[in-house]
Chain A
Amino acid sequence: MPNSTASLPMADPSELPGPERIVDRLVGFGHALRDHGLPVGSDDVLTFCAAVAELSPGDPNDVYWSGRTTLVHRRDHLPVYDEVFRTYFLHVPPPNADSPQEERPVPQGSTGTLDVPDSEPGDEPGDEQPLILGLQASSVDIQREKRFATCSPEELAHLRRIMARIRLEPPTRRTRRRAPDPGGPVIDIRRMARDAMRLSDSNPALHRMDRKLRARPLVLILDVSGSMADHSRNLLQFAYSMRRAAQKVEVFCFGTRLTRITPALDRRSPDDAMRLAAARVLDWDGGTRIGASLDHFVRTWGRRGLSRGATIVICSDGLDRGSPALLADSMERLQRLSHRIIWMNPLIGNDVGASPNTLGMLAAGPFIDELASGHDLASLEHFATHLADIG
C-alpha cells in the first residue's frame, strides 16, 4: 500500500494555506471515513491531527500513514481507508462513483419464490424465500438470500428455554486462575500472611484454593446447503439462543463457502438477528462443500486460535459434494486444534445410536467425539441441556 500511494498524484499543497484549513481538511477526512462505516471517534480525529502536526501536512505520505495508524483499529478496515483516502485527498474517483460499498445496489427483478419447505407447521405469509440471483453467481454456487420471517410464539418459547438451560449449565473448563476453595489442593499463602498480620496469630488457619471454572468457548458451524434447507431455520434460531445465552460463542455458516455470522446474531431481537444473519450468508440452499469449508475454517480461524480449547459443534447431514479426502484432512486438523467435536446430523432423527452412512460422515467419522441429532427445536433444546456433559 505505501507504494500505491506514493505513485499517486500528490495533493496540491496550495490547497492547504492556513492551519485552520488543514484542520478542517483533516476533520473532514475523519467524517468521510465515518460516512463509509469506519468507527472513527472524536478522540481518534484529535490524535490524527496531533500526529499530522508532528509531521508535514503537505506530504500525502505522512498524512496517509498517520491517518492509518490513528484512525484505523483493525486490519479489515484498511481497504476502506485506502479508498476514502484516495477520493478525499488525491481526488481519484472511486471505482463505482459515489456509492459506498455497503450500499451497492442489489439487482432487482430476479426475485422469485422458491418452495423451500419450512419446518414449522404454521405457515406465515412472510415465510416464502425471495431470492436474489446473480450477485456473484458462478457455475459452482447459486447465491441466494434467505429471508426468515418473524418467529412464532412457539419458537420463541423454545428459544427462551434453550437460553435458560445454557445459562444454568454452560460447558466449562478449568482456567489457570485460582479462587478460594476450602477443599482445594493449593495453599493460599497470601491470605494466610494477611491473617497472620491482622490477627497476630502464630498458627494461622490453612486457606486453600483451587483453579476456577470458566465457560468453554463454543463454535457452531452450520450447514445451510440445499439438503439441509428443512433445518436451517431451526439451526439459526438455535445459534441465536446460544450466542445470547453463553459467553463465548462463535457461529459460522457454510454451503459452498464459509461465512462468519457471529456479529449479526448479537441483535437483541431474534427477528432482527435472524434477518441480518440470513443476509450475510450468500449461499443458502446451494451445494455443499463441507471439506473445503472446514478447511477454510481451520486455516483462517482455527490457525489463529479461535477453536483452541473449544467445543466445536458441526451441524450437517454429511452429504458432501467435495472431496472426502479434503474433509478427512480438515477434520483431523480441526480435532487437533479443538477440545471436542460434536457432529449434529438431523438424518439421525430420534433414532439415537444410528450412524448415517453418507460418504461425508464416513470420512469425518474417525474424528468425531460425539454424534447428536438436532432435527427439530425440541431435540436442539435437549442437546443444549446435555452440552455441559458431552462438551
Chain B
Amino acid sequence: MSDTNPTPSPSSVPELQERLRAEGYLAGRGLATAAFIGLRLGRPILLEGEVGVGKTELAKCLAEIHGRELIRLQCYEGIDTQQALYEWDYARQMLHVRALSARELNDSETTASLYGADFLLERPLLQAIRSGGNAVLLIDEIDRADDEFEAFLLELLSDFQITIPEIGTVAAAERPIVVLTSNRTRELHDALKRRCLYHWIGFPSIAEELDIVRLRVPDVADTLVEQVVNAVHQLRDMDLAKPPGIAETLDWVDALGVVGSDNLNIETAADTLGSVIKDRDDLELVHAELDRVVADG
C-alpha cells in the first residue's frame, strides 16, 4: 500500500457515485454530496448512523478510488497522543544512552541523534500528516475516545500540523482526506462537529439494499437475495434491541451460501439466524415469530 499513486478527485457528484459503485459501494445522493463537498473543500466528513450501515466502508472506498493509502485510527477509551500521534522508542533510546556514555561521547551532535528519526515511532495521525495528499485518514468510532482526546483532535483537524518539541513542526503539505465515524454512544462536542461536514446514514430502503447486496455478492440467486432483504426489513420493524445493519444482511446471504441453501425458509433461517441477530433476547423474540418474518419475505 505504500507505493500509492494518487488519482484526481471526481469532478461531480454523479462521477463520485459512479466510481464508488465501481468499488462496490452504493452511495445515495446525500452521502455522495457530503463526501464530494468534503473532498472539494478539504473538510473532514463526520458520519453518524446505525451500526453496520457502511460508515467505515466509505473511507476504505474513498481511499481505493483515489489510489491513496488508508490510515486508520481506531479510537478506544483512554487513547492518548502517544498511541495516536507519535512516541519515542524509549527502550532503544536508553540502550543508546548507555552505549554513548560507555564511549564517553557527550557532544551536542550525539545528543541530537537520540531524537532522530530512528527513535521516532510514528502513529496513525503523524503518518497521515506526513503522507498528506497520499492518505485517507479514518478516525473510527471517535465517540469511544474520551473528551481530552476529542479536544486534541480538534486542534489537529483545523491546522493539520503538529509540533514535536525535539524535532519541530510537521505540517501536511496537502490535507489528507479525513473521515470520522461515530456510533453515537455519546454526543460529540459541537466544536468538533463544526469542523466537519455532517452526514447521518440511515438504513437503506428495500430497493437500495437489494442493489447493495447484488453488487457485493453478485453470484447469489435473485430470489434468495429478495427473500433475505425482505426478511431483514421485517426484522428491523420488530423493535429489536439490536436491529441488523447492512453488514448483517450480507453476512446472512454469505451464511446461507456456506450451508448451501438457495432458499430462505423457516429451517434455513433458524439455522443461520446467528449471523443476523446477535442478542439473546432478540433471538428468542425472532424465533417465536420466525414464520411471519420468513413468510412475509
- Given A2-B30, A193-B93, are A66 and B194 also a contact pair (CB < 8 Å)? no
CA distance A193 to B242 in the complex (A): 48
What A residues does B194 contact at CB under 8 A? 41, 43-44, 73
- Given A51-B41, A176-B78, A193-B93, are A72 and B33 also a contact pair (CB < 8 Å)? no
CA distance A47 to B44 in the complex (A): 12
Find out whether the CB atom of A177 lies under 8 angstroms from the CB atom of B78.
Answer: yes
Taking the closest CB of chain B, its distance from the CB of A317, in whole angstroms, is 27
Select which of A66, A189, A303, A304 is within 8 A of B37 by beta carbon.
Answer: A66
CA distance A176 to B76 in the complex (A): 9
CA distance A51 to B48 in the complex (A): 20
Find out whether the CB atom of B94 lies under 8 angstroms from the CB atom of A2.
Answer: no
Find out whether the CB atom of B241 lies under 8 angstroms from the CB atom of A299.
Answer: yes
B34 interface residue, CB < 8 Å from A? Answer: yes
CA distance A70 to B190 in the complex (A): 13
A97 interface residue, CB < 8 Å from B? Answer: no
Find out whether the CB atom of B28 lies under 8 angstroms from the CB atom of A2.
Answer: yes
A192 interface residue, CB < 8 Å from B? Answer: yes
Find out whether the CB atom of B101 lies under 8 angstroms from the CB atom of A200.
Answer: yes
What A residues does B106 contact at CB under 8 A? 200
Select which of A65, A190, A200 is within 8 A of B90 by beta carbon.
Answer: A190
How many residues of A are in contact with the other chain, CB < 8 A? 43
B273 interface residue, CB < 8 Å from A? Answer: no
What B residues does A55 contact at CB under 8 A? 13, 33, 36-37
What A residues does B183 contact at CB under 8 A? 304-305
What B residues does A65 contact at CB under 8 A? 29-30, 33-34
Find out whether the CB atom of A54 lies under 8 angstroms from the CB atom of B198.
Answer: no
What B residues does A47 contact at CB under 8 A? 41, 43, 197
Find out whether the CB atom of A197 lies under 8 angstroms from the CB atom of B97.
Answer: yes
Find out whether the CB atom of B94 lies under 8 angstroms from the CB atom of A192.
Answer: yes
Taking the closest CB of chain A, its distance from the CB of B181, in whole angstroms, is 14
What A residues does B78 contact at CB under 8 A? 175-177
CA distance A298 to B77 in the complex (A): 22
| Contact mask for chain B residues 1-36; partner A; CB cutoff 8 A; 1 contact, 0 none | 000000000000100000000000000111001101
Find out whether the CB atom of B198 lies under 8 angstroms from the CB atom of A72.
Answer: yes
Find out whether the CB atom of A333 lies under 8 angstroms from the CB atom of B34.
Answer: no
What A residues does B43 contact at CB under 8 A? 47
| Contact mask for chain B residues 135-151; partner A; CB cutoff 8 A; 1 contact, 0 none | 00000000100100000
Find out whether the CB atom of A69 lies under 8 angstroms from the CB atom of B199.
Answer: yes
What A residues does B146 contact at CB under 8 A? 175, 177
What residue of chain A has the Cβ atom nearest to residue B98's Cβ? A202
Select which of B91, B93, B193, B200 is within 8 A of A78 by beta carbon.
Answer: B200
Residues 288-339 of A contacting B (Cβ, < 8 Å): 298-299, 303-306, 308, 329, 333
CA distance A303 to B101 in the complex (A): 57
Find out whether the CB atom of B88 lies under 8 angstroms from the CB atom of A193.
Answer: yes
| Contact mask for chain A residues 54-83; partner B; CB cutoff 8 A; 1 contact, 0 none | 110000011001101110111100100000
Find out whether the CB atom of A304 lies under 8 angstroms from the CB atom of B185.
Answer: yes
- Given A2-B30, A51-B41, A62-B33, are A308 and B185 also a contact pair (CB < 8 Å)? yes
Q: A51-B41, A177-B78, A197-B114 are in contact. List 14 more A-B contacts (CB 8 A).
A: A50-B41, A55-B33, A55-B36, A55-B37, A69-B34, A69-B197, A189-B91, A193-B93, A200-B101, A202-B98, A202-B101, A299-B241, A308-B185, A333-B281
- What are 28 A-to-B residue pairs whose CB atoms are below 8 Å? A2-B29, A2-B30, A41-B194, A43-B194, A51-B41, A51-B197, A54-B40, A54-B41, A55-B33, A65-B30, A65-B33, A68-B199, A69-B37, A74-B187, A75-B200, A78-B200, A175-B78, A175-B146, A176-B76, A176-B77, A176-B78, A177-B78, A192-B94, A193-B94, A196-B97, A197-B114, A298-B241, A304-B184
Q: Which 9 pairs, one residue from A and one from B, show the smallest C-beta to C-beta distance?
A: A176-B78, A305-B185, A65-B33, A193-B90, A69-B34, A73-B193, A51-B37, A54-B40, A69-B197
Chain A residues engaging chain B, CB cutoff 8 angstroms:
1-2, 39, 41, 43-44, 47, 50-51, 54-55, 61-62, 65-66, 68-70, 72-75, 78, 175-177, 189-190, 192-193, 196-197, 200, 202, 298-299, 303-306, 308, 329, 333
